[in-house]
């Protein structure tokens, strides 16, 4: 479980996050949504430990995040960020193997190699194994980095939780791989796994999230189960757009009509 209490973060005189108190439970898909500049990516960076100069309390499974070493944190949580460029040539397999670095000292073990092969197969990357990463398209690069972060936390440390952070993971992806990305993430959920992500498409968020968190101007406007909190009034407040809602004929979940 991740719990954040009264989180505040500023850059100079500009307040980026204001008094954010949230809780993310194991076995749940938690998606953050809001307009551009609302603080979504900043919150992901803070929750994942990339930003540490904040006010408030942030705990992983009851322990202050500041008690974790960088290596211990890297072994239990992985982040798919918006930045997926590499400035030097590596094969796709080498990039995916980077995710296993927290789990070995000098050379990857047979187990590390097997995990890399497994996640590459899962994301249909076997034919790219020896390709130069720099020659790939934007969507292909995104798939490679997703394989990397999955490899990083494919097996949680014994007795520990694992956390997967996805910061706008659907960028550059076609409709098929958007669904694949989130379906795989949700399939990993169990009593030791927590998923926290940022998405822009509200209907994708409604389709996958167990809990939705609406941000605007650095403040948490509302959070909860989508079917309980989402309505046209909330969407108008957050995005300043008029909408109507209906129920999906197959899933029964809300769908937004613009």
The answer as to whether 136 is a domain residue is no
Q: Ramachandran region of residue 56, left (φ > 0), alpha (ψ -120 to 50) or beta?
A: left
Count the neighbouring beta carbons within 10 Å of the beta carbon of residue 68.
16
89 found inside a domain: no
Report residue 89's pLDDT band, with 50, 70 and 90 as the boundaries: confident
Burial class for 139, CB neighbours closer than 10 Å (0-12, 13-18, 19+): middle
Decide if 187 is inside a domain: yes
Kindly report, residue by residue over 2-32, the tens digit of the pLDDT. 999 999 999 988 999 999 999 999 999 999 9
- What pLDDT, on the 0 to 100 scale, is given for residue 171? 83
- Say which range, 23-27, 33-37, 81-85, 220-224, has the weakest mean pLDDT: 81-85
Q: What is the pLDDT of residue 191?
A: 86
- Residue 48 belongs to some domain of the structure: yes
Residue 61 falls inside a structural domain: yes
Q: What is the CATH number of the domain that holds 56?
A: 3.40.50.300
Task: Specify the pTM.
Answer: 0.93
| Residue 17 β-bridge partners | 9
Helix (H) or strand (E) segment spanning residue 245 = strand 244-247
Number of folded domains that form the chain: 1
Domain housing 38: 2-83+157-257
């Amino acid at each position: 479980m991740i719990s954040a209490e009264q989180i505040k973060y500023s850059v100079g005189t500009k307040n980026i996050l204001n008094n954010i108190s949230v809780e993310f439970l194991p076995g749940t898909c938690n998606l953050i949504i809001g307009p551009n500049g609302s603080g979504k990516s900043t919150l992901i960076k803070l929750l994942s430990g990339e930003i540490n100069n904040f006010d408030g309390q942030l705990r992983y499974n009851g322990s202050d995040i500041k008690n974790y070493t960088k290596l211990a944190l890297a072994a239990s949580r992985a982040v798919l960020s918006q930045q997926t460029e590499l400035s030097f040539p590596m094969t796709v397999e080498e990039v995916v193997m980077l995710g296993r670095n927290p789990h070995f000292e000098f050379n990857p073990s047979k187990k590390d190699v097997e995990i890399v092969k497994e996640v590459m197969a899962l994301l249909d990357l076997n034919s790219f194994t020896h390709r130069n990463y720099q020659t790939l398209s934007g969507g292909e690069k995104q798939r490679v980095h997703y394989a990397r972060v999955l490899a990083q936390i494919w097996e949680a440390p014994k007795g520990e939780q694992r956390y997967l952070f996805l910061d706008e993971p659907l960028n550059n992806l076609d409709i098929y791989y958007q669904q694949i990305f989130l379906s795989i993430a949700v399939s990993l959920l169990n009593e030791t796994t927590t998923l926290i992500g940022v998405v822009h498409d509200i209907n994708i968020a409604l389709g996958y999230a167990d809990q939705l968190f609406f941000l605007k101007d650095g403040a948490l406007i509302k959070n909860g189960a989508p079917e309980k909190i989402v309505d046209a009034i909330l969407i108008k407040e957050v995005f300043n757009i008029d909408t109507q809602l209906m129920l999906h004929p197959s899933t029964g979940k809300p769908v937004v009509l613009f």
